[in-house]
Structure 1
Amino acid sequence: MYTALRITVTGRIQGVGFRPFVYSLAKKHELNGTVQNIVGSVRIVVEGEEENVERMVSELKTSQPSLAKIDEVCIKGVAPKGYEEFTILPSEKSGDTLPWISADAALCKDCLKELMASDNRRYHHPFINCTQCGPRYSIVKGLPYDRPKTTMNKFIMCPDCQKEYENPMDRRHHAQPICCPNCGPDVTLLDKNGVVLAENIEAISVIAQLIQKGNIVGIKGIGGYHLACDAFQEMVIEELRNRKRRPQRPLAIMVKSVETARKYCHISDHESTFLTGTESPIVILQRKIDCPLPINISPGLSTIGMMLPYTPVHHLMFEISNLECLVMTSANPSGLPMLFKEEDFHHLQELCDYVLVHNREIFMPIDDSVVQLDKESPFILRRARGFVPDPMKTTSNVDRIISLGGNQKNTFALGKHNHIMLSPHIGDLDNEEMIFSYEKQLLHFKEWLSVEEDYFAIDKHPLYATTAFAKKLNGQVIPIQHHHAHHVSCMEDNGLSETCLGIILDGTGYGEDGHIWGYEFLYGNAESFERLGHLKYTPLPGGERAVKEPWRNAVGMLLHYFPNEGKEWASRLFPEKLQDITVLEKMVKNQINTPWAGTCGRLFDSISAILGICLTSTYEGEAAIKLSDYLNRDEVEYSEKIYPFHIKEEGDNGLQLDFSPMIQQIIQDRFANQPIAAIIHAFHRTIVSSCVQMIQVLVEKRPDINRTVVLSGGSFQNLFLAIEVQRHLQQQGFNVYTHKNVPCHDGGISYGQIIIASHIIQNKRR
């Protein structure tokens, strides 16, 4: 029986070889018709014998290209038109479907093989790519995703590339960045004065030699510049830190292969899968005890962030040299936006000895993604290259809503139809340069998605840069409480909509009572929430300064909790700060520049300072990260000890968690010279116990409460907390969810903001 179907496929199906895939299926099953790109979808008309059509549809759903991600397949029977062949039609420029663009993808195995084959015409070509790999997001200027709307437009294809591009059976059919040595971009090696030293493969060979000689180089990649140096040269790494103004924060390294990585770090099968995947993120790995890599790659930590080569240039650098491991960190002074444009060269002159540039323009910068794995569950710490710009489907009406995120680890989110488009990691909005970069990327997303916003969701903090930015926009502003956004972000990440419990362990968030929240026990959903419990407030003398100098935070807690002994204990713990302690005492007593805070991040900071691990933080979370790292060390002997704490009724304000007994005991253990690692382990066990007991008490008080719990907030980047809180609550019969697709820290709050705003808008319309 002869039949015909019209099939509309939505999802990530443009720029991934989907039309050639459909073409090959049609030929395989002897079918005629057409396939065409529409903005955000692919439209297929196919006709032939019914059995063949059914087989083709089945294979379409189950065997798509590796970079494709089908969201929906709509099939409708139509009258046959009598097509005589199957053809690929030119893209249609109009349409209001959500556009899916493939993320930038690591070099595929087929292209890598050709890159290293001396008889291949793309041998050692630094820009080799196909429909399954290469730049996408970073080079797209507009939609639909066709070459004229990418930064490859200025490179005219040679006859050989044109032939491949037009051949439906070739894996480079409609690969928009297609090129070869005869028609593609060029790589150029410059000294810091901009003088050309070498080009293309010679440039790559020379820069590898320069790295081996101890130079710091800039390398232009897919989404921006990296700073690179030999990961075994400790003094060079220190110089890189000085130039970048990054004294302690861990540096990522790029290693030649998984086999190389295994020499230095423990790698599970799942970690290996992430390392070698098309996203090619930085994976946080546990270093081996005998790892010879310098400690100053990640000072004070037992972990190293590693990634594999993901561009042709990276592979060639390792192939033609003796290099095994490179420090590979974003080329920007600490706290400033990524460098990615030609006019950024003057910044590179201050950072690098030499620079490897290319003339393929980067239209949108994007950083490397970072993931950490617990057994088989990934925790996304930075959602960027490889993961962006995949939209996420939702049941909420988010159309025409933009959420602006927070000030730290910023992302924004745009709603179009029933999808949310989350921006890549942008960073901390602490200066004009970062705010300008943020505004530019938001404008690009709006134009790209054709979003005409009616509403802006923002954090309630009155001093956030996003709050000031929202005042300049045309649209209704909807303030969202910080921890409510965390709560709903995790709910949405797991497809939950019913009211549930939330444990939000965070560093800083503006509370509805004007204090700083961050150790919250909430009950609610996207429509509303109740604050059922929280950590007892303590003074934060100096406010933001106490965040950057954890010893001040610790002194504030001691002076508040222990009026009689607190100053003496603080003086013993921080003898070099005696004069400052007296000043802090007056600040606390007279409430001068001393906000009240009850946050998990500040509690961790205080314990880190009390134990002498980190008195001053040079990057966000440093004190807590270095404290928690003791749990990863092989020599640690763990005990079952849990420190005392109190759970108290606070009238209408719910339960209050008081850790003063724990802090007193930790100080006594410190003065008694108890092993630091044992104290830290007992501290972590106490945090877990407090969370579990608070939830148990809340459920006892409210037996009808939903026994589903979500875990969110930046402190749950601590895998011990995430794993153990989840495990203990599950043992008590609770359903517990952690983040899966978006970060648990502030990089995920725009995701929660847009959902909450959607429900606020819908409730007003009722």
Structure 2
Amino acid sequence: MLQRNPAPSRSMSPRRLRLRVRGVVQGVGFRPFAFGLARRYGLSGFVLNDSEGVLIEIEGGAVEEFRVALRAEAPVLARIDAVEVEERPLGHDADFVIAESRGGKAATRIGADAATCPECLRELRDPKSRFFGYAFVNCTHCGPRYTITRALPYDRAQTSMAGFAMCSACAADYRNPENRRFHAEPVACPACGPRLSHQIEDIAAALLDGKIVALKGIGGFHLMCDAQNADAIAELRRRKARDEKPFAVMVADIEAARRFADPSAAEEDLLSSAARPVVLVDERGKLPAGLAPGLSRVGIMLAYAPVHHLLFDELVRRSPATPVALVATSANPGGEPLAATNEDAERRLATIADLIVTHDRDILVRADDSVMQVVAGAPAFLRRARGFVPEPVDLGSDGPSVIALGADLKNTVCLTRGREAFVSQHVGGLDNAETLRFERETVDHLCRILAIRPDYAACDLHPDFRSVRLAEDLGLPLVRVQHHVAHVAAVAAEHRLEGALLGLALDGHGYGADGGVWGGELLTLDGCRWRRPGHLATLPLAGGDRAAREPWRMGVGALVTAGRGDLAREAFAGVPEAARLVAMLEGGMRVAETSSLGRLFDAAAAIAGTRMIQTFEGQAAMEFEAVAREVEADTAGYRIEKGVVDFRPLLVRIAEQGLNGTAASSFFHATLIAGLAEWTLAAARTEGLDRVVLSGGCLANRRLAEGLRARLSAAGIETWLPQAVPAGDGGLSLGQAAFARHVVANDRTQVEEP
């Protein structure tokens, strides 16, 4: 319950203030909140939504009390960035009213979608409520926001609820300042709102019968099946052509999550947050191995939409003695983007799902589930989407508007406005026409909802990236940003780090400034100036792109270039092509080389016998990390010379000693962390820098991220990890945009005019 401030003194002289409130203040119940405060303090005036946020004018003797309470008691989903105050002449209003919204060029923003709040959940289950069993119940504290909004200001006419006329009961709630649905734009009930295409009972029956269900939710469709039915999981994998990549699991609540997994307190907080992301947690062996083959953690999320809660309630009613868990994976066949429209689902999911459940509330902006983990005690993104987008990253200062097109893997788009950087939801891999179309949709929607025509575009250096071609087609002055510089710049931008710093960029691959394949880089960065004082020793990419899919090739190349072709023949005796590749490399065959840490992980995993062929990106490294334990590092496992760190001695020792499984992984991780930390500290001393940012897709490896941070911090180095966006390519667009703004401000020779 809110604590009431003391009533104002009648002797206070009346004043009138205009308050301009900026931040996430539309669609979160801010106008009714301000209305209630004004009534509490006996003030007159008005509140309205406009293109810049919320505008309030208050008049009376307790305007200062109102100002204090406005920040202290703001609605749970609101985020106030600033309250600008202006004294105004007395207007002698008779009352305080909610006025009509005003349009204009948008300078405000809409909030992210939020999980069903406790009050709506209670109504959903209350037979006396008119919202009993209604799969679209919501209020100002919860429900869809970004995914149903076409444009700002956030009013019903600008959402996909525009076509649903409110019944008299909903209209009364909407107009009642004391109701929590006061000006809740998606408000609806069974009499006037959207409807599901199937009964909850039919959906539950199909799942219990081992069927696969495509269920339309908040940001798109899920493919669902019984997470305890190994046959159903195998069939879903077959139909979706997803052999081994892990599936996420949805459960009803935190108690259910504890039955199937072992979340820490920080992970439980993240699971229970209004965003309801998928969170990687230690599994308890209660679910089939086919859910996350070879991994020690499983992705868990709690039910977040009313339809999910109704479904779990029905499943529990039918089988009260059995804990319930459902596979809930994105409905995106063949690497295409998430299905979001009813027609799209019928066309693309008919060969996968036995039952397709739609509804008639359109999803205007598709958004996958966000995926997170806890690293060094703080939340970290693996995929940033529903529940967090479009929350901006504060860059700390104003600058030109830049649209950054990201990478071709794990693509996101970033648009800056003033001091804010808006990173889009996860788009995906730009290797098919559907995802390319989705990226263009995302660019158009960001520009429209923020009412921005960018001044500049930014993209990767890679000449063949599809994202680069889109950036070139925009017809804007263009800044090309080296891949790993963008990784470092993203972390510097989110933490608002100014001045020179050292960056450690560790990933799978990126186009280097010399045209080579980089991926394990020490970089200095100061605004738009950067250098590469160090890198990992290069390894041969035998077979080119095939080497990323076939880790045994990296293992062979590493051992042969270390002068141990004999070990390569022995370690890969079971691979038919290995002996021939060894002979070719020993004979001087010329191949491309890479400094990638991701490929070093592949080599180690292959030499240890963990994974010879990958069915999805990062599989070998993920499985290798899953079995690692704490052991002592071996400083003889690496060499540092002239800025280059060479871990081939570590791979040779693993092969010589015949290490595999936990022994190999533990030894590799411990020595890798020790070597990378020593290398980074030496560079920091040489460069005279005491700040290091860690970035790149390899930082998804929690053991690596925490180990590096701990060692560098213990040595007195300020160490920064990615938190606002993913460490991998999902955060690249933020770094591109931030770097491009520095270029425009300081070195326009790097800008290509259209």
Q: TM-score range by the shorter chain?
A: over 0.9
Residues 489-638 of structure 1: matches in 2 within 5 Å?
Answer: 489-562=490-563, 565-566=564-565, 568-583=566-581, 585-586=583-584, 594-631=591-628, 638=631
Number of the residue aligned with 1:162 = 171
AA at the equivalent of 1:152: M
Q: CA offset at residue 376 of structure 1?
A: 3.0
Report the count of equivalent residues.
730
Number of the residue aligned with 2:7 = none
Q: CA offset at residue 638 of structure 1?
A: 3.4
Partners of 2:24 and 2:79 within 8 A in 1: yes
Partners of 1:643 and 1:683 within 8 A in 2: no
Residues 60-79 of structure 1: matches in 2 within 5 Å?
Answer: 60-79=70-89
Q: CA offset at residue 379 of structure 1?
A: 1.0
AA at the equivalent of 1:698: A
Residues 240-251 of structure 1: matches in 2 within 5 Å?
Answer: 240-251=236-247
2:46 to 28, 34, 42: 34
AA at the equivalent of 1:31: L
CA separation in 2, counterparts of 1:266 and 1:396? 42
Root-mean-square deviation over aligned CA pairs: 1.6
Q: CA offset at residue 483 of structure 1?
A: 0.7
Number of the residue aligned with 2:673 = 688
AA at the equivalent of 1:65: P
AA at the equivalent of 2:187: I
AA at the equivalent of 2:641: K
2:330 aligned with 1:336: no
Number of the residue aligned with 2:320 = none
Q: CA offset at residue 751 of structure 1?
A: 0.6
Question: In 2 relative to 1, CA 337–699 (structure 1 residues): closer, same or farther, beyond 3 Å?
Answer: closer
2:127 aligned with 1:118: yes
Number of the residue aligned with 1:199 = none
Look up the SS of the partner of 2:595 in the other structure: strand
2:257 aligned with 1:261: yes
Higher mean alpha-carbon deviation, 418-427 vs 446-455, is at: 446-455
AA at the equivalent of 1:176: E
2:301 aligned with 1:307: yes
Number of the residue aligned with 1:108 = 117
2:314 aligned with 1:320: yes
Look up the SS of the partner of 1:188 in the other structure: coil
Measured against aligned partners, the alpha-carbon deviations of 1:509-548 in whole angstroms (never above 9, x if no partner) come to 1111111111111111231111111111121012111101
2:35 to 10, 23, 27: 23
CA separation in 2, counterparts of 1:587 and 1:626? 28
1:11 to 14, 18, 23: 23
Residues 108-187 of structure 1: matches in 2 within 5 Å?
Answer: 108-187=117-196
Measured against aligned partners, the alpha-carbon deviations of 1:401-446 in whole angstroms (never above 9, x if no partner) come to 1111011111110111221111011111112221111111111111
Number of the residue aligned with 1:366 = 367
Measured against aligned partners, the alpha-carbon deviations of 1:313-332 in whole angstroms (never above 9, x if no partner) come to 10001112236100000112
**Identity, % of aligned pairs?**
37
Look up the SS of the partner of 1:334 in the other structure: helix
2:417 aligned with 1:416: yes
Measured against aligned partners, the alpha-carbon deviations of 1:121-165 in whole angstroms (never above 9, x if no partner) come to 110011000011111111111221111111111111101101111
Question: In 2 relative to 1, CA 640–556 (structure 1 residues): closer, same or farther, beyond 3 Å?
Answer: closer
Look up the SS of the partner of 1:320 in the other structure: helix
Partners of 1:5 and 1:46 within 8 A in 2: yes
Residues 432-443 of structure 1: matches in 2 within 5 Å?
Answer: 432-443=433-444
AA at the equivalent of 1:64: A
Number of the residue aligned with 2:662 = 677
Number of the residue aligned with 2:65 = 55
Question: In 2 relative to 1, CA 96–399 (structure 1 residues): closer, same or farther, beyond 3 Å?
Answer: farther
2:276 to 274, 280, 297: 280
Q: CA offset at residue 338 of structure 1?
A: 0.7
AA at the equivalent of 2:455: D
1:217 to 213, 223, 227: 213
CA separation in 1, counterparts of 2:531 and 2:156? 51
CA separation in 2, counterparts of 1:142 and 1:637? 51
Number of the residue aligned with 1:463 = 464
Partners of 1:397 and 1:758 within 8 A in 2: no
Number of the residue aligned with 1:193 = none
CA separation in 2, counterparts of 1:96 and 1:356? 35
Partners of 2:393 and 2:494 within 8 A in 1: no
AA at the equivalent of 2:695: S
Number of the residue aligned with 2:10 = none
Higher mean alpha-carbon deviation, 397-406 vs 254-263, is at: 397-406
CA separation in 2, counterparts of 1:589 and 1:540? 16
Partners of 1:39 and 1:144 within 8 A in 2: yes
CA separation in 2, counterparts of 1:515 and 1:640? 31
1:208 to 204, 208, 212: 204
Partners of 2:333 and 2:349 within 8 A in 1: no
For structure 1, the residue ranges without an aligned partner over 5 or more in a row are 190-202, 650-654
2:289 aligned with 1:295: yes
CA separation in 2, counterparts of 1:95 and 1:332? 35
Measured against aligned partners, the alpha-carbon deviations of 1:661-711 in whole angstroms (never above 9, x if no partner) come to 1111111122xxx45312211211111111221123224434xx1201111
Partners of 2:106 and 2:449 within 8 A in 1: no
Number of the residue aligned with 2:710 = 727
Partners of 2:50 and 2:153 within 8 A in 1: yes
CA separation in 1, counterparts of 2:202 and 2:446? 38
Question: In 2 relative to 1, CA 386–579 (structure 1 residues): closer, same or farther, beyond 3 Å?
Answer: closer
Q: CA offset at residue 342 of structure 1?
A: 2.1
CA separation in 1, counterparts of 2:707 and 2:575? 36
CA separation in 1, counterparts of 2:489 and 2:226? 43
CA separation in 1, counterparts of 2:477 and 2:585? 40
AA at the equivalent of 1:526: G
Q: CA offset at residue 175 of structure 1?
A: 0.8
CA separation in 2, counterparts of 1:231 and 1:764? 54
Q: CA offset at residue 616 of structure 1?
A: 1.0
CA separation in 2, counterparts of 1:539 and 1:306? 38
AA at the equivalent of 1:5: L
For structure 2, the residue ranges without an aligned partner over 5 or more in a row are 1-12, 317-322, 750-754
Question: In 2 relative to 1, CA 300–86 (structure 1 residues): closer, same or farther, beyond 3 Å?
Answer: same
CA separation in 2, counterparts of 1:739 and 1:700? 23
CA separation in 2, counterparts of 1:589 and 1:17? 71
Partners of 1:398 and 1:755 within 8 A in 2: no
Number of the residue aligned with 2:8 = none
2:339 aligned with 1:346: no
Look up the SS of the partner of 1:173 in the other structure: coil
Question: In 2 relative to 1, CA 66–80 (structure 1 residues): closer, same or farther, beyond 3 Å?
Answer: same
Partners of 1:399 and 1:418 within 8 A in 2: no
Partners of 1:224 and 1:339 within 8 A in 2: yes
Partners of 1:571 and 1:577 within 8 A in 2: no
CA separation in 2, counterparts of 1:96 and 1:106? 26
CA separation in 2, counterparts of 1:333 and 1:686? 40
Partners of 1:270 and 1:375 within 8 A in 2: no
Give the TM-score normalised by structure 2: 0.94
CA separation in 1, counterparts of 2:468 and 2:493? 24
Partners of 2:569 and 2:582 within 8 A in 1: no
AA at the equivalent of 2:638: F
